[in-house]
């Protein structure tokens, strides 16, 4: 979840003094990177995924599934193993998917993260290795654990912070970093960065974070629901009064610590683009897809021992690292702070950055809070206004962790101060400039997806997003809608069974009309290039972005309609005019699956490969249509169907234990007495 610098972390009061210094040098470092790399072209289309795990520790005797806090030992063993295998591997000519994966620490001391050892290339063959590689990661991880431990991919742990024991070993829920009523500090990764992040966020904010997720009201849930498990009378830290003073809301599950959010697991995909313009375009085109894939991968229906009336983790993490002061949250007039900031550092993208011809300034329709001085510095250095705005916005934030040894840096070679601010802006997409001194190009990261229970599902979503990016580049697809509508979609994506019940704003004509239809073609240079594997893609050029040369277009409000996820993924026929509009021309929508299929039609794909890819697409398609369940729906239904569940919203230790066991079985490719059939539709049995 970010840069792991070593050194002595400063307390918040000290960090505050260095905030301008970090911003100033961070921007200098960015300018240096931009000057060095802005013209670099022809980078390979590479990509990689990140899978986050929770290590469970079974206490079979007492029917409890606990979170194992042995991250450090497990990672050390994995690192040793990787070193040994790499030496052997170097002698062999292996593809990226066949090389040993790499493991990384994460926020929770019960978490692991794993990536393929080397980036995947744009070749379709690499796609066929993704699932095997993910399965291998889990097997290797498991091989370095105790017999009673297992790496599960559950997005939010149902009993994290619930009364009783939920970690192995047990620690009482208190600690100076988080001052939580529910979580011990010992579940935070002990690397100095993580407890310091936790404490400094709390101190900067001026109170503990406060997250309230609506409770799922079951037949026996009291109404109003006032959580009996909140120790309202606890008084160890001054912050303990927060819950009494209104931070805990009735009818909600209240959480008060960073661990509730950053202790969740997700599936992230990073792409390297051929150049900066293509990266900017991909960033924009993927942004409207982030809420859609959040809803499709929804896997977080239980929090702190209760079923919730929402299915996704995103707003919990947003709340868990929300370091804005009362002034910044608009609760008090601005006095000591510079800005009122509408969103947390962990939130949705607020601004499009591409200058491709299909971009319209009207799409950036929410007021962007930005540091005008930083904007000016960047523009004086030669960055265009849109790009300068992007960073002037990210850099309204303070650094949260500063290591005393790293305050002074050589801006010509380091990007540490830049990364400090950049990597603590956790948005649905991240635009990543090349790290200095490497041959890495401009990259974008797709960050909204929740981790899925099986490797099959995680591979399916990773591969699908990769293929969508290929379709975007090959067919010059245009998914732009106003950014305020993407925000509205983020909100909708959280609701229970959003996949089935919600409608989302989506663009009606995605074939970049201003480039290909309606009007005469726009002139300018479009570069086509071919990479090593033969896949063709095009990149934009700033010279075709002259707004004066742009043809007349539809009013922005007519460009989008309301779609179900089924329509977005599986197509919409002209009969279903679900936006109530009368514009027949746009009532047919091909669906993302069809677009990917059309893209594959343009490639020489052998039958075997096509069949495998179709199996992954089938999963996405059936999730969208409701034929298969999301993990969130599966978990909620499993809990409600458990003989020990009392229909009072509570996920007891025993129900949680049985659930985690089922999850393990599904992960291992067994459909526990048919239990997973609605989740996977038998697909898990094909291996
Ligand atoms: N675990 C976080 C999530 O679920 C992401 C942390 C990271 O950026 O790696 O979104
Ligand atoms: Mg991570």
Q: Please tell me whether residue 630 adopts helix, strand or coil conformation.
A: coil
How many angstroms separate the alpha carbon of residue 50 from the centre of ligand 2? 7
The reported pLDDT for the residue numbered 685 is 60
The torsion defined by the Cα of 471, 472, 473 and 479, in degrees rounded to 10, comes to 170
Q: Which of 113, 263, 264 to mutate to test the pocket of ligand 1 (most atoms within 8 A of CB)?
A: 264
Residue 221 has pLDDT above 70, yes or no: yes
Over residues 3-14, the pLDDT tens digits come to 566 789 999 999
Q: Which of 102, 160, 265, 290 to mutate to test the pocket of ligand 1 (most atoms within 8 A of CB)?
A: 265
How far is residue 99's CA from residue 112's CA, in Å, rounded to a whole number?
19
Q: Please tell me whether residue 213 adopts helix, strand or coil conformation.
A: strand
The reported pLDDT for the residue numbered 6 is 72
Ligand closest to 103 (CA) is 2
User: Is 370 within 8 Å of 396 (Cβ atoms)?
Assistant: yes
In the structure, which protein residues have their CB atom closer than 6 angstroms to any atom of ligand 1? 1, 52, 262, 264-266, 313, 317, 426
When pLDDT is averaged across residues 441-468 and rounded to a whole number, the result is 98
How many angstroms separate the alpha carbon of residue 622 from the centre of ligand 2? 28
How many angstroms separate the alpha carbon of residue 679 from the centre of ligand 2? 25
How far is residue 586's CA from residue 533's CA, in Å, rounded to a whole number?
35
Over residues 114-130, the pLDDT tens digits come to 999 999 998 999 999 99
Which stretch of 89-103, 173-187, 428-442 has the lowest confidence by average pLDDT?
A: 89-103
Show the tokens assigned to 105: 């620490």
Q: Tell me the torsion sign for CA atoms 27, 29, 32, 34.
A: negative
Query: Ligand 1, closest atom to CA 113?
Result: 9
CA angle 191, 192, 193 (to 5 degrees): 90
When pLDDT is averaged across residues 74-88 and rounded to a whole number, the result is 93
How many angstroms separate the alpha carbon of residue 265 from the centre of ligand 2? 8
> Which residue's alpha carbon is nearest to atom 10 within ligand 1?
266
The reported pLDDT for the residue numbered 681 is 87
**Residue 506, beta-bridge partner list:** 561
Residue 532 has pLDDT above 70, yes or no: no
Residue 219 has pLDDT above 80, yes or no: yes
How far is residue 653's CA from residue 62's CA, in Å, rounded to a whole number?
9
How far is residue 263's CA from residue 53's CA, in Å, rounded to a whole number?
10
Ligand closest to 108 (CA) is 1
The reported pLDDT for the residue numbered 682 is 77
User: Is 356 within 8 Å of 363 (Cβ atoms)?
Assistant: no
Q: Which of 426, 458, 494 to mutate to test the pocket of ligand 1 (most atoms within 8 A of CB)?
A: 426
Return the half-sphere exposure (C-beta side, CA atoms, 13 A cut-off) of residue 528: 6
User: Is 48 within 8 Å of 116 (Cβ atoms)?
Assistant: yes
User: Is 107 within 8 Å of 1 (Cβ atoms)?
Assistant: yes
How far is residue 40's CA from residue 327's CA, in Å, rounded to a whole number?
42
Query: For the chain, what is the radius of gyration of the CA atoms?
Result: 24
How far is residue 621's CA from residue 630's CA, in Å, rounded to a whole number?
12
Over residues 384-428, the pLDDT tens digits come to 999 999 999 999 999 999 999 999 999 999 999 999 999 999 999
When pLDDT is averaged across residues 96-123 and rounded to a whole number, the result is 94
Angle subtended by helix axes 130-143 and 455-475, to nearest 10:
150
When pLDDT is averaged across residues 357-381 and rounded to a whole number, the result is 97
The reported pLDDT for the residue numbered 548 is 43
How many angstroms separate the alpha carbon of residue 3 from the centre of ligand 2? 11
Query: For residue 542, what pLDDT band results from cuts at 50, 70 and 90?
Result: very low
Residue 521 has pLDDT above 50, yes or no: no
How far is residue 478's CA from residue 512's CA, in Å, rounded to a whole number?
5
Helices within 42-147 (DSSP H only): 71-89, 124-127, 130-143
Tokens 């009201």 sit on residue: 217
How many angstroms separate the alpha carbon of residue 168 from the centre of ligand 2? 22
Residue 527 has pLDDT above 90, yes or no: no
Residue 534 has pLDDT above 60, yes or no: no
> Which residue's alpha carbon is nearest to atom 6 within ligand 1?
1
Which stretch of 231-240, 543-552, 564-573 has the lowest confidence by average pLDDT?
A: 543-552
How far is residue 152's CA from residue 158's CA, in Å, rounded to a whole number?
13
Residue 667 has pLDDT above 90, yes or no: yes
Residue 581 has pLDDT above 90, yes or no: no
User: Is 186 within 8 Å of 109 (Cβ atoms)?
Assistant: yes
How far is residue 63's CA from residue 642's CA, in Å, rounded to a whole number?
14
Residue 578 has pLDDT above 90, yes or no: no
Q: Which of 447, 450, 451 to mutate to test the pocket of ligand 1 (most atoms within 8 A of CB)?
A: 447
DSSP 328: T
> Which residue's alpha carbon is nearest to atom 8 within ligand 1?
1
Q: What percent of the chain has pLDDT over 70?
A: 91
**Residue 48, beta-bridge partner list:** 270
Residue 585 has pLDDT above 90, yes or no: no
Query: Ligand 1, closest atom to CA 314?
Result: 10
Q: Which of 266, 299, 443 to mutate to test the pocket of ligand 1 (most atoms within 8 A of CB)?
A: 266
Ligand closest to 113 (CA) is 2
Q: Determine the distance from the C-alpha atom of residue 438 to the mean position of all C-alpha atoms in its chain, rounded to a whole number.
A: 25
How many angstroms separate the alpha carbon of residue 2 from the centre of ligand 1? 9
- pTM of the entire predicted model: 0.93
Show the tokens assigned to 495: 């609701």
Q: Determine the distance from the C-alpha atom of residue 560 to the mean position of all C-alpha atoms in its chain, rounded to a whole number.
A: 25
How far is residue 507's CA from residue 544's CA, in Å, rounded to a whole number?
22
Ligand closest to 264 (CA) is 1
When pLDDT is averaged across residues 288-310 and rounded to a whole number, the result is 98
Question: Which residue would you say has higher pLDDT here, 37 or 536?
Answer: 37
Query: For residue 131, what pLDDT band results from cuts at 50, 70 and 90?
Result: very high
How many angstroms separate the alpha carbon of residue 107 from the centre of ligand 2? 8
Ligand closest to 294 (CA) is 1
CA angle 510, 48, 591 (to 5 degrees): 25
The reported pLDDT for the residue numbered 677 is 86
The reported pLDDT for the residue numbered 91 is 83
How many angstroms separate the alpha carbon of residue 538 from the centre of ligand 2? 31
How far is residue 541's CA from residue 531's CA, in Å, rounded to a whole number?
18
Residue 55 has pLDDT above 70, yes or no: yes
> Which residue's alpha carbon is nearest to atom 9 within ligand 1?
1
Query: For residue 1, what pLDDT band results from cuts at 50, 70 and 90?
Result: low
Tokens 């900017």 sit on residue: 280
Over residues 485-516, the pLDDT tens digits come to 999 999 999 999 999 999 999 999 998 654 44
Residue 529 has pLDDT above 80, yes or no: no
Show the tokens assigned to 411: 């801006």
Residue 143 has pLDDT above 80, yes or no: yes
DSSP 674: G
Query: Ligand 1, closest atom to CA 266?
Result: 4
DSSP 549: G
| Cα distances (Å, whole numbers) of residue 155 to 107, 301, 321, 361, 676 | 14, 9, 17, 36, 17
The reported pLDDT for the residue numbered 495 is 98
How many angstroms separate the alpha carbon of residue 452 from the centre of ligand 2? 14
Other Cβ atoms within 10 Å of 190 Cβ, number: 14
Which stretch of 532-536, 585-589, 656-660 has the lowest confidence by average pLDDT?
A: 532-536
The reported pLDDT for the residue numbered 492 is 98
How far is residue 561's CA from residue 511's CA, in Å, rounded to a whole number?
15
Q: Quick one: three-class SS letters along 527-591?
A: EEEECCCCCEEEECCHHHHCHHHCCCCCCHHHCEEEECHHHHHHCECCCCCCCCCCCHHHCCECC
How far is residue 441's CA from residue 432's CA, in Å, rounded to a whole number?
9
How many angstroms separate the alpha carbon of residue 187 from the centre of ligand 2? 16
Residue 586 has pLDDT above 60, yes or no: no
The torsion defined by the Cα of 464, 465, 471 and 474, in degrees rounded to 10, comes to -130
Helices within 370-450 (DSSP H only): 372-380, 385-394, 416-422
Helices within 61-214 (DSSP H only): 71-89, 124-127, 130-143, 193-205
Q: Determine the distance from the C-alpha atom of residue 77 to the mean position of all C-alpha atoms in its chain, rounded to a whole number.
A: 28
Angle subtended by helix axes 372-380 and 385-394, to nearest 10:
140
The reported pLDDT for the residue numbered 95 is 86
How far is residue 477's CA from residue 470's CA, in Å, rounded to a whole number?
10
Tokens 């313009």 sit on residue: 277
Residue 671 has pLDDT above 60, yes or no: yes
Please classify residue 529 by burial: count the beta carbons closer than 10 Å to its beta carbon, then call 0-12 exposed, 13-18 middle and 19+ buried: middle
């Amino acid at each position: 979840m970010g840069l792991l610098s070593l050194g002595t972390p400063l307390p918040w009061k000290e960090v505050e003094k260095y905030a301008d210094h970090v911003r100033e040098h961070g921007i200098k470092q960015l300018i240096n990177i931009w000057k060095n790399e802005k013209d670099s072209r022809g980078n390979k289309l590479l990509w990689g995924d990140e899978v986050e795990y929770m290590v469970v520790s079974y206490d079979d005797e007492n029917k409890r599934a606990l979170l194992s806090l042995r991250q450090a030992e497990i990672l050390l063993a994995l690192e040793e193993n990787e070193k040994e295998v790499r030496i052997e591997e170097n002698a062999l000519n292996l593809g990226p998917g066949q090389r040993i994966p790499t493991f990384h620490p994460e926020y929770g001391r019960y978490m692991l993260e794993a990536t393929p050892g080397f980036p995947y290339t744009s070749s379709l063959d690499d796609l066929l290795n993704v699932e095997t590689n993910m399965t291998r990661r889990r097997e290797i991880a498991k091989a370095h654990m105790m017999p009673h431990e297992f790496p599960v991919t559950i997005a939010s742990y149902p009993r994290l912070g619930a009364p009783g024991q939920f970690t192995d070993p047990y620690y009482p829920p208190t600690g100076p970093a988080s001052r939580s009523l529910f979580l011990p500090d010992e579940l935070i990764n002990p690397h100095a960065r993580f407890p310091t992040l936790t404490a400094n966020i709390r101190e900067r904010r001026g109170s503990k974070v406060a997250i309230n997720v609506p409770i799922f009201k079951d037949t026996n849930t009291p109404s109003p629901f006032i959580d009996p498990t909140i120790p309202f009378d606890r008084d160890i830290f001054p912050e303990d009064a927060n819950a009494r003073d209104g931070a805990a809301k009735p009818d909600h599950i209240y959480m008060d610590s960073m661990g509730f959010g950053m202790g969740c697991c997700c599936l992230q995909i990073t792409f390297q683009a051929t150049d900066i313009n293509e990266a900017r375009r991909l960033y924009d085109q993927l942004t409207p897809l982030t809420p859609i894939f959040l809803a499709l991968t929804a896997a977080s229906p239980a929090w702190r021992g209760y079923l919730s009336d929402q299915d996704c983790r995103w707003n919990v993490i947003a709340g868990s690292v929300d370091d804005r002061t009362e002034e910044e949250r608009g609760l008090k007039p601005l006095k000591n702070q510079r800005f009122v900031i509408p969103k947390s550092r962990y939130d949705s993208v607020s601004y499009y950055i591409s200058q491709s011809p299909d971009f319209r300034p009207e799409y950036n329709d929410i007021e962007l809070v930005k540091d005008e001085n930083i904007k000016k510095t960047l523009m004086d250095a030669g960055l265009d206004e849109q790009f300068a705005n992007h960073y002037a916005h990210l850099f309204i934030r303070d650094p949260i962790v500063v290591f005393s040894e790293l305050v002074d840096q050589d801006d010509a070679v380091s990007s540490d101060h830049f990364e400090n601010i950049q990597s603590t802006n956790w948005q649905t997409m991240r635009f990543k400039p090349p790290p200095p001194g490497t041959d890495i190009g401009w990259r974008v990261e797709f960050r909204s997806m929740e981790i899925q229970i099986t490797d099959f599902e995680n591979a399916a979503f990773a591969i699908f997003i990769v293929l969508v990016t290929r379709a975007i580049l090959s067919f010059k697809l245009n998914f732009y809608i106003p950014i305020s509508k993407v925000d509205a979609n983020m909100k909708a994506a959280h609701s229970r069974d959003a996949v089935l019940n919600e409608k989302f704003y989506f663009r009606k004509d995605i074939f970049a009309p201003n480039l290909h239809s309606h009007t005469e073609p726009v002139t300018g240079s479009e570069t086509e290039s071919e990479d090593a594997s033969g896949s063709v893609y095009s990149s934009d050029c700033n010279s075709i972005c002259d707004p004066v040369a742009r043809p007349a277009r539809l009013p922005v409000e007519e460009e989008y309609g309301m779609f179900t996820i089924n329509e977005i993924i599986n197509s919409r026929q002209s009969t279903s005019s679900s936006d109530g509009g009368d514009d027949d021309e746009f009532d047919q929508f091909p669906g993302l699956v069809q677009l990917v299929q059309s893209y594959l039609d343009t490639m020489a794909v052998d039958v075997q490969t096509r069949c495998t890819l179709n199996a992954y697409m089938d999963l996405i398609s059936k999730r969208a249509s409701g034929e298969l369940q999301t993990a969130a729906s599966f978990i909620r239904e499993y809990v409600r169907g458990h003989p020990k569940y009392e229909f009072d919203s509570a996920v007891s230790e025993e129900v949680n234990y049985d659930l985690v066991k089922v999850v393990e079985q599904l992960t291992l490719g067994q459909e526990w007495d048919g239990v997973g059939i609605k989740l996977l539709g038998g697909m898990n049995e094909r291996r």
